[in-house]
Amino acid sequence: MLRQDPSGIAPERALVFETVVSITRFQNAAANAGFELLIEDPLGDDYDIPEEMVDDYVDAASPTLYATMPSTSDLQRLLSLWRSYQAQEDAERGLAPWWTLFSMLSDIRVWGPQDRLTPEVRAELAYRLNQGDDQPLRLELEIWPTANATLRRRWLRDSRAKIEALGGRILASSEIDETDFVYQAVLAEMPADAVREMLANPMAPEGVANLDGLQFILPQMVAQSLPDDSDAAQPLEDALESFSEDAPIRAVLLDGTPIAGHPALNNGVVIEDVHDLVRLSQVEHRRHATAMASLILRGDLQADGDPVPDARLLSIPILIDDAHGASSPNDRLFVDLVHVALARAFLGEDALAPEAHLVNFSVGIRQGHFAGRIGSLARLLDWWSERHGILFMVAAGNVSDDLNVAGTTFTAFDDADQTERRRLVESAQKESRQFRTLMAPGEAMNVLTVGASSQDLSAPRIGPPTGSIILNDADDPYPAVSSAIGLGAFRSIKPDFIAPAGEHELRASSSADGVRLRVVDRTQRSGLNVATVQRGAANTYKTRGTSCANALSSRSALFSLAALTDADGPFAEQPLSPRDKALLTKALCVNASSWPTAAVEKFTAEFAPNPRRHAQAREEVCRYYGHGLLNDQRMREAPAQGATLVGLGTLRKDRAAIFDVPLPPSLSGERIGRSMVVTVAWFTPIRVTRARYRLAALDAVPHGYDLFGEFTEDDGWALAMKSGQLDANLIKRGTVWSRRLTHSNPIVPNFTTDLRLPVRVQCRDSSGGGLSPDDDIRFALAISMELEAETNYDIREELETALRVGVRQEG
């Protein structure tokens, strides 16, 4: 089997294929030769890499595939055929398809040192060597994931012996052996000379890279939150009511240490020092976690300030705060640190937050940009989501590097109008996007990844200073230039959506080939107003970034849960499990997101030059916007001229559930524009030992029967509407399926008052055999209907009167 991810390869039978053609062409040749190329979803017939991007794509995406052979003899036979091809021998009878396949390859080899040291890792280690002179370097060695404990013990023993023989030492080790999740790694400190020798000669028999059973060598995973250098602060303008000590803990914050006694947070935050890190964080530096807690519990203190109803926040510090920001301990494996924190929060009779369903994760991995491989931290969060029903809200990450805009001059850029400036910036982002990808663990499949919209929630008191560049308009939100961009694993939609993150100001300066843009950090003119401490006093200040967007989104999720479960909510009389709460809020987050005007204009600009590339044009917009800008109000309430319906269900492989949704009687016979959004959210089981990592895929399809009882498919969902911004292939790659339907030229729908709209949610195995027919896949469904104009009737009231959602299982 050919795979794109090495995680599922048996190490003793692992082969590496390096291609010189596109994945699509190689897929066809592999099929002719009898190999199955395992990718999450087949590429469309019209999908191709634009010619002007071929070299960049090859360099950045590393078109390398991995194969696991049924036996060692099969591996040797394939290598023998490859050598015959290289020797220019003629193909034997029946082997011509293999020769065609070989013509598309630059190399076939057994998994080895060059695969354990990826180009991205080699570059990062070389950079750290240059920065640290002859200081020792800390490396993480990950073994192949296997449930065989005997093999893991042997690899650990051999790793220790090899590291010590080279003058290094093991600082920490971790073994996580859970059902469907295995992780084992060591944190080693190595002499600088030994690392230089490893990079110069990775094939050396005595080197670490040649260690049997080793999967990857990585720089130490260091989690961080960026420092905020602003020295300006303001006192709280209004006294704030304390949170109730009796309120349940609804969410968990994994970050640094917040100032729990700050007047904006008083009684709202419970700190549990699971890792004994609080004593290492001086109070005057506890800014990032305090800001996150402030945004989750109070929102922007100038624009909002209202407390999240009936909720408190559990904080488990995983970072150490200092004058340079916050970072994870340098003597621990970060994956282990997170796993222990989550276990303490959610597992056991003395769990710290048994009622919580949401984890805010607004920290990123230093230099941990997504390069195609799902990292161990992302896999851990995916496993926790599915196994324990936890919704992780993850910041997409901030890119601190300046953006170089080529092909213009400082004067021309300064004189350009907003449309032209945006065009130049977007072109520059596209040229450098391999360096601006999602920050780990934002590539995880089961999480919600949140990007940043350059947008304040309260108007700045003064205008921007001379020379500042602001790409967003007051009524037209725009992605922050510093926000990391997608797509995610298996080309899934990432970020899932964007949210307000404070207005970002830019400063331009001349560069050798154009203009260099830098985000202004030290400004208190704009941003989101949050709690902080300065010079020992409780104050507020303004900040910005994807962390802020993520915290505000977590707040919206908690408010939506309150709306679902309060006295007037649909689940007022029904107890919800943490998993159900997590899935409902996950579905509502995406359901309440839509492309703003700037996103639609970007799609038009991408689509116009070549209408055949509509799929690529949509992907390009999703890299920045995902499903769109989160509408906080729609998380809490139904549309003003519409209604939102929610439901829950459980499916197994190749099964379906049909939700009978009533149609508003007043729509019958009315010529009025309307729209509908259908969203399904789930947590997929994962298998880290399989290349096709996502096991379960769900979607919703129109479903109905005609007068004679025959099945009929209605692409308009019985409302004669057409699909909106995202096509069917794009929305099916992740763990949220969301389709927007609109009707701008309405016909007059005629139906009886008891007509139901059947929505069929179905589950399929997306892994080629990994999903068990006994696996229960819990899901949430959200459906929003909205009219374009005010009417004299209330379709929400009509639906509430008629709603008796029936669910029937299909075999």
Cβ–Cβ < 8 Å for 795, 650? no
pLDDT for 8 equals 53
* Predicted pLDDT of residue 607: 78
46 pLDDT tier (thresholds 50, 70, 90): very low
Between 160 and 712, the more confident residue is 160
Q: Do the beta carbons of residue 367 and residue 438 sit within 8 Å?
A: no
pLDDT at 6 over 60: no
User: What interhelical angle do 597-607 and 418-431 show, nearest 10?
Assistant: 70
By CB atoms closer than 10 A (0-12, 13-18, 19+), residue 614 is middle
Residue 475 half-sphere exposure toward CB, CA atoms < 13 A:
0
Domain edges within the chain: 2-111, 115-220, 249-589, 638-810
pLDDT of residue 658: 87
pLDDT tens for 365-383 read: 988 899 888 899 999 999 9
Residue 307 structure tokens = 């407390």
Confidence of residue 493 (pLDDT cuts 50, 70, 90): very high
As a whole number, mean pLDDT of residues 467-488 equals 89
Q: Is the pLDDT of residue 673 over 70?
A: yes
In this model, does residue 352 exceed pLDDT 60? yes
> How many other C-beta atoms are found inside a 10 Å radius of the C-beta of residue 397?
32
Cβ-contact 203, 113 below 8 angstroms: yes
At residue 43, does pLDDT exceed 50? Answer: no
Rounded mean pLDDT of 538-561? 94
The amino acid that residue 312 corresponds to is R
pLDDT of residue 35: 61
Distance of CA 375 to the CA centre of its chain: 12
Query: What burial letters (b/e) apply to 417-447, b meaning 16+ CB within 10 Å?
Result: eeeebbebbbebbebbbeebbbbbbbbbbbb
Q: What is the dihedral of CA 617, 618, 623, 628, to 10 degrees?
A: 140
pLDDT at 488 over 60: yes
Whether 707 has a pLDDT exceeding 50, the answer reads: no
pLDDT at 284: 86
Element (H, E) at 165: helix 149-165
The larger pLDDT score, comparing residue 605 to residue 724, is at: 605
Three-state secondary structure readout of 606-618: HHCCCHHHHHHHH
Q: Would the pLDDT of 191 be above 80?
A: yes
Question: What is the Cα–Cα distance from 594 to 621, expressed in whole angstroms?
Answer: 12
Q: Which residue has the tokens 């490859």?
A: 82
Q: Which helix (H) or strand (E) holds 764?
A: strand 756-765
pLDDT at 567: 83
What is the CB neighbour count within 10 angstroms for residue 753? 12
Give me the residue label for tokens 């307000």: 500
Nearest to 630 by CA among 528, 521, 527, 551: 551
Amino acid of residue 731: I
Find the mean pLDDT for residues 627-639: 90
153 or 74: which leads in pLDDT: 153
pLDDT number for residue 587: 97
Min mean pLDDT across 311-325, 346-360, 388-402, 468-482 is at 468-482
Q: Of all residues in the chain, what percent carry a pLDDT higher than 70?
A: 82
What topology does CATH give the domain 115-220? Alpha-Beta Plaits (3.30.70)
**pLDDT value, residue 398:** 94
Residue 729 has pLDDT above 90, yes or no: no
* Partners of residue 507 on adjacent β-strands: 468, 518
Return the pLDDT at 138.
94
Name which residue leads in pLDDT, 475 or 172: 172
Regarding pTM above 0.85, the answer is yes
What are the pLDDT digits (tens) for 50-100?
A: 333 333 333 333 456 666 666 677 778 888 888 999 999 998 888 888 888
348 sits in the region (left: phi over 0; alpha: psi -120 to 50; else beta) called: left
| 3-state percent breakdown (helix, strand, coil) of the chain, nearest 5 | 30, 25, 40
Q: What is the pLDDT of residues 574-619, one digit of tens each?
A: 889 999 999 999 999 999 999 999 998 888 888 777 777 778 889 9
The residues pairing with 190 across neighbouring beta strands, listed in sequence order, are: 137
User: How far is the C-alpha of 782 from the C-alpha of 784, rounded, in Å?
Assistant: 7
| Mean per-residue pLDDT of the chain | 84
On the question of a cis peptide bond just before residue 248, with omega within 30 degrees of 0, the verdict is no
Helix ranges restricted to H, 17-118: 23-33, 54-61, 72-86, 96-102, 113-116
Q: State phi, psi for 507 to the nearest 5 degrees.
A: -120, 135
CATH number of 249-589: 3.40.50.200
